[in-house]
Structures are given as C-alpha cells and as structure tokens.
Structure 1
Amino acid sequence: MDQNRLSLLALHFIPGIGNQLIRQLISYCGSAERVFKTPRGKLMKIPGIGAVTADSIRLGKPFSDAEKEMQRAQKEDVTLAFFTDKNYPSRLKQIADAPSLLYCKGNINFETSKTIGIVGTRMATPYGKKLVEELMLDLAPHEPLIVSGLAYGIDIVAHRQALKNNMATVGVMGSGIDVMYPASHTETSTKMLKHGGLVTENPFGTRPDAHNFPARNRIIAGLSDALIVIEAAEKGGALITAEIANSYNKDVFAFPGNIGQRFSEGCNALIRSNKANLLTSVKDLEYIMNWSVGTQPEKKKMFFDADAYSADEQEVIKVLLENNRQLAIDDIGWRTGIAIGRLASVLLGLEFKNVLAPLPGKVYKLLE
C-alpha cells in the first residue's frame, strides 16, 4: 500500500482538519507522509495547527480508518482522487476551496473540452422539464460533460436527458458514494456509471445531511465551464450554486420565466442583477462561450526553455501556467509538493531569472 497516499487519506480522518489545513500541512511539510513525522513543536508553528490537532497527528490513530477506507474503495471499485493526483479534475484545481480528495465511481473523463453544470428547483414544472429536454437535444452535438446534483426536479431530468442523448453525465453527491439520495434515483445513477459517473468528497457512510449540500454545490460550480439555472425560486440551492459560480468567475446562464411564477423568480432575479446571462436557446450559449461544434480549448503551452531550469523550477512554472499565471506561495507548495522551506529558495531563484515577480500577500506571478 502506497504510504504517502495512505497518509493523505489519514489526514482526512483527523478531527478539525479541513481542506485548507490539509493543504497548509502538506505545503509546510512537503508531503502527507512527512506531516506525520514532523515533531509536535514544529507542527504547532504551522498556521492553524494548535496543540489538540498536533497531538492527533502525532498519535497516528487515523491510519486504521484510512486503511479500512482504502480497502473498501478497492472492493467497491471507487477511485480516490487526491488533489495532487494527475487524474484530479484540472477545473477544480483552479478554485481556492477545492476538495482535497474526491471519491469517484464510473467511467468519468473530467477533461472534456466542454463541461456544463445544470441546476434548478426540486419542484420542476412542465415548463422547466421541457426546457431541459430541448436544451439537451441541442447540446448533444457539442458532446459536453453534463454535471448536476442528482436531486429531485431539474437535476435528475438533466441526468436522464443527457443519457437519452448519449452525453456523459456526472452526479455530484452530498453524501457518501455508497449512500444514494434520494433512493428513487438509484436506477438512473447505475446507468450513469457506464457513461459518466458519481463524485463526492464525503467518506463512505456519510448521510445526506443538510450542511453537505452547499459544499456539494461548489463542486458543481467548480467543474463547470458554464452553469445553467433552469427554474429557481427566490431562495434555494440553485441560486447558491450560481453565486458560487460567479465567485469563481464562471459563466452563468439562466432561462427567463413568466412574471409572478414562483419558480421563475430566481432566474429572473439573476438576469435582472446581471449575475446570469439571458439564455433562450443553445445559440446564446454558443455566442457567449464562443463555442462551435467540435471546437477544442486552447492548450496552455510552456513558453520556457525547460533545459534552463531545474526540475523544481519547471514544476513551479507549470503550476503557475495552469492557474492563470499567479498563485499564493502556500498554493504553489500544495500543488507542486515542494516543501515551503525549499520552495522559498526556488521562487527566489526564478525571481532572479526574471521569470516571476512577487506580489502583495505572498502571491507570485509569471512575467510575460
């Protein structure tokens, strides 16, 4: 069993440690395995780590839970995708509060050229269902990955229509990957495993508690190039997802609805407040996203002579290129796996070579 992967998983079973602290620990220690070998005193010097957390890390009790979790994942054909893995979705790596671990099941290609999130009310009307059906039919030539939340209403209609039109679709769950909620969607989720799949950040056995769903919504937003809201009340999960998508600088779209209708209020408000583009057909989406059938996104190229830089320097340059050319030092450390102490020296060397420049807040930016 890979000790570093086991250590990564064990970090998730330490009480009080979330995604941000896991990143912080790995950034300062260099790897998950080294976190558990770091003396208590040094752990407590890491921002956010107190005496209780340091003691929990040093005791190493989470390893038994991690071993059981890893064995269960292997038994149930579930892939554990850590933030540092190559198979972790590149779109999620670009958001600050990305999950440090994903449980994935099925046949999922996260790196499709176009990914579209679909969200909406759980109380879908015939109007909303018809919009989904027509939208999916028109989207099919683009061959996008359709992402939604497996909930009642618009979500499940989107998944089913995607399958009907031979599009891959991923359901982001607010529970453990072994806990289907609602249970009535089990048949659809089973079909999705062949052409898409299921994703969650929650460990096996996690119940679909209310607080899990706002967190689930950020994954839907983060995975999407474009987020489409189809019917939403004045308040609800769909609007929360739209707000999150806007904070990630994602393109948000909404179908308008009849004035005075409850499940049109949310969409109309998004459009009125310029928080969503007006969507009347796929042509609006194609125009704003600059999409045409068969188009592929531009690949980011390494415009540097690799031979002129060390392996660590190349890794830093690569990570910056993949993340809008600038990142905070902790994020660079997390994404590259280079310990903070060594990373500071690498960044200084690149600064002397006029490759990057420091910005306020310990942020580093690649120079043109």
Structure 2
Amino acid sequence: MTQDELHAFLTLQRIPNLGDTSIKRLISRFDSAEQVLRQKKETLLKIDGIGEFRLKAFFDKTHRLEAEEELKFIEANGISYCSFLDADYPQRLKHCVDGPILLFKRGSAGYENPRTLSIVGTRKVTTHGQQFIRKFIEELVPLKPLIVSGFAYGVDIAAHTAALDNELETLAVLAHGLNQLYPKIHAKYQKAVERQGAFITDFWSSDAFDRTNFLRRNRIIAGLAEATLVVESAEKGGSLVTAEIANSYNRDVFAVPGRPEDIQSVGCNNLIKTQKAQLITSAADLVYHLNWQPEEVFKPVQKQLFVELTEEEKIIWRLLSANGREQLDLIALNCGLPTFKTASLLLNMELKGVVRPLPGKLFELT
C-alpha cells in the first residue's frame, strides 16, 4: 500500500459515523480509498447511507490533517500496517464482515500460522486457571500454534507469558493505539512480545482510551483465530462477548468447565450448558476437535519405540494392531478407557509417531 492510499484510508476512518463495513463497501465500489475521496458530491449523495451529514464530512479538511498526523506517528515509530485488501492481512479476518479496514502492528510475528488459538477469560484468574493455561500451552508446543489474547490482567497475560516461556509466537491485541501499553505493569513483557510475537490494534495513537474500546478489540481476538478458548469467566464479562463474536463468525468455541459453586466458572459452565461452547479439559480435546497435526512427517514405528509407551498406550497399540483403523469411541470402549482419556493418549501416541488420525474420528497405526 502506498502512503497516499494509507493516508486516504486514515482519512476515511476519521469521517464521523462511517464504520469499517461502510468504508469497505465504498472502496469496493470505487476500487481504492483514494478514489473514494476523489468522488464528486453528487456521486456520493447517490450512495445509500451517505446522506447530507456524512457528505459534508467527506470534504472537511480537518480529517485529512488528522490523517497526516497519524501517518507521521506511524512512520516515526516503525509501525507496520496492512489493509483488508492486502495479501498480508489476516485471512480469517477477511471473512469477518466487521473486520477492521486497517491493522497496525509492532513486532516480528505475522498472521500466516494456520494453527491460531485465542485464549480469553477473567481478569481475576485463579491459581488453578493459571496452572491449566500453562499445562495446556505446554502440551501444544509440538504443534507450534500462534496464541492470541488481549494483554489484560488475568487469563490474557497468563496465556501470553506461557506462550513466551515455551518459545511460541503470541499476538497481543490492544484496545488502544501503539503509543502506550495498558496495563502499565505489563510493560515488562513488551520487548519479549515484540521479539517473539507482536502487538496489534486498529486504534490510532490519538484515540482516547475508553473501556468501550475492549468490546471493539474483542472482534479482532475472535476473528484472528481458528478457535477461541474461554478458561475462566464469571457470569458476565468481556470473554463471553468474545465467545459470542466467535460464534457469529462460525468459529469453534471451547470452554473449561468448573464446579457450579465457583464464581469464576459460571460463565464457562453457561457457555457449555447453552451449547455455545464445547467442553474441553485438555489440549488433546482441542487437537482432536480441530484435527491439528504436527508438521513432522511420521516415521514407521521401530520395535524399540514400543518400550517407550505407557501401559495404557500399549493397550491401544495392541487393539489397533489387531483391528486396524478404528474410531475413537470404539477404541475407548474396547480398551475400557474414558473417551477423554483415550483422546489424550492418542495425541501422545501421535506425537511419538505411533498412530495417525484420519477423517471421521478414525485412528490407525503408522
């Protein structure tokens, strides 16, 4: 994108009551942001939804001057950017009707990782929740997923730090411009995130920081990922909004169940109860539902590998050796194991190169 086109995008963003969806329609009609701003009044007036009020704003020089100031900030601070028309714009966000027309980024990570997971939840995360996040992400390391969250207190920062500690890329989606960091106490993670991930936002440096920004930010968290995981949540909260948005995008939503009397589990339990999220208790559940597979090419099983299997894994190995490919539920039934436990064991065996998953919840020996 040229600087002139970026300036035009920024100018359109500053026109009052002209949201991302309307701007996309205008650009689609006139081929570029620059062309939109070059249109005559009578042409723009014929477009549904413009009207006299918005029409005046199109020719208000104030918006162009504001765009120039933001462009200077972007250039001075080495901020990268992309529009919804660019090849490096996140592909999943392109399918979201209300996805941002511009994304600003500071950091090294890109958006191309096919295994992208958003993790959200309460700001008052419990010790149990923190331990679950850390173990969950550790188990996903062989799959090298991209972890997305909102850099807030609680579940967000627990997800980011667990990703960093396990050398995974992580995207921190901010509810403000890249001229600041909130909360300030998390500034100690800034360099690590920029080195091993990135901060992204669709807010300007001049935008006022307001609590309503978090709701706007949540659509990016939901839209970037293949799936959203809610770890802990009270009856109401921003993470539940993110889950609702993810559902509206037809993305998978998962929730970690908790005891009925736990305040921080009410939201997750309700998501599961109302079938707005699938119950999940381990990384194996996620891998199973999303059919994620390691990048490594599986090698034939060597005899000496057999001794590295646990007793329960040996039972599964013997069953598949005798019966050939088998469905997960039948493996669990014939081995006398719970389904969730069997899914976890099969994931471990898959990572060891012993079994491989097939469509239809089937598994076979390699």
Q: Which runs of 4+ in 1 moved over 6 A?
A: none
Larger Rg, first or second structure (1 or 2): 2
Contact 2:149 2:160 in 1 (8 A): yes
The equivalent residue for 1:261 is: 262
- C-alpha distance in 2 between matches for 1:4 and 1:200: 19
The equivalent residue for 2:108 is: 107
- Displacement of 1:73 in angstroms is 0.6
- C-alpha distance in 2 between matches for 1:66 and 1:54: 18
Q: What amino acid is aligned across from residue 55 of structure 1 in structure 2? A: K
- Displacement of 1:111 in angstroms is 0.7
Contact 1:179 1:206 in 2 (8 A): no
Residue 170 of structure 1 aligns to a residue whose secondary structure is strand
The equivalent residue for 2:251 is: 250
- C-alpha distance in 2 between matches for 1:243 and 1:59: 37
The equivalent residue for 2:207 is: 206
Q: CA-to-partner distance for each residue in 1:197-237, whole Å, 9 max, x for gaps? A: 10111101333311111111110000011111101011101
The equivalent residue for 1:150 is: 151
The equivalent residue for 2:63 is: 62
The equivalent residue for 2:226 is: 225
Identity %: 41
* Further displaced range: 47-56 or 222-231: 47-56
- C-alpha distance in 1 between matches for 2:182 and 2:208: 9
- C-alpha distance in 2 between matches for 1:175 and 1:4: 23
Contact 1:179 1:207 in 2 (8 A): no
- C-alpha distance in 1 between matches for 2:115 and 2:3: 33
- Displacement of 1:4 in angstroms is 2.3
Residue 41 of structure 1 aligns to a residue whose secondary structure is helix
The equivalent residue for 1:6 is: 7
- C-alpha distance in 1 between matches for 2:18 and 2:169: 34
Contact 2:177 2:203 in 1 (8 A): yes
Residue 194 of structure 1 aligns to a residue whose secondary structure is helix
Equivalent pairs counted in the alignment come to 296
The equivalent residue for 2:178 is: 177
The equivalent residue for 1:361 is: none
Runs (5+) with no aligned partner, structure 2: 298-366
Contact 2:92 2:223 in 1 (8 A): yes
Contact 1:80 1:103 in 2 (8 A): yes
CA-atom RMSD, angstroms? 1.5
The equivalent residue for 2:187 is: 186
Contact 1:170 1:199 in 2 (8 A): yes
Contact 2:137 2:283 in 1 (8 A): no
Contact 1:121 1:263 in 2 (8 A): yes
Q: CA-to-partner distance for each residue in 1:167-194, whole Å, 9 max, x for gaps? A: 0001111111112111111111321000
- C-alpha distance in 2 between matches for 1:66 and 1:273: 45
- C-alpha distance in 1 between matches for 2:268 and 2:48: 41
Contact 2:175 2:213 in 1 (8 A): yes
Residue 206 of structure 1 aligns to a residue whose secondary structure is coil
Q: CA-to-partner distance for each residue in 1:257-282, whole Å, 9 max, x for gaps? A: 11210001111111111111111111
- Displacement of 1:52 in angstroms is 2.3
Runs (5+) with no aligned partner, structure 1: 297-368
Contact 2:176 2:201 in 1 (8 A): yes
Q: CA-to-partner distance for each residue in 1:283-339, whole Å, 9 max, x for gaps? A: 11111111122289xxxxxxxxxxxxxxxxxxxxxxxxxxxxxxxxxxxxxxxxxxx
The equivalent residue for 1:75 is: 76
* Further displaced range: 152-161 or 24-33: 24-33
- Greater relative CO, 1 or 2 (CA 8 Å, sep 6+): 1
The equivalent residue for 1:235 is: 236
Contact 1:179 1:205 in 2 (8 A): no
Residue 110 of structure 2 aligns to a residue whose secondary structure is coil
- C-alpha distance in 2 between matches for 1:277 and 1:259: 17
- Displacement of 1:57 in angstroms is 1.2
The answer as to 2:32 corresponding to 1:38 is no
- Displacement of 1:53 in angstroms is 1.6
Contact 1:106 1:193 in 2 (8 A): yes
Residue 198 of structure 2 aligns to a residue whose secondary structure is strand
- C-alpha distance in 1 between matches for 2:129 and 2:203: 30
Contact 1:36 1:60 in 2 (8 A): no
The equivalent residue for 1:341 is: none
Could you state the TM-score of these two structures normalised by the residue count of structure 2?
Answer: 0.78
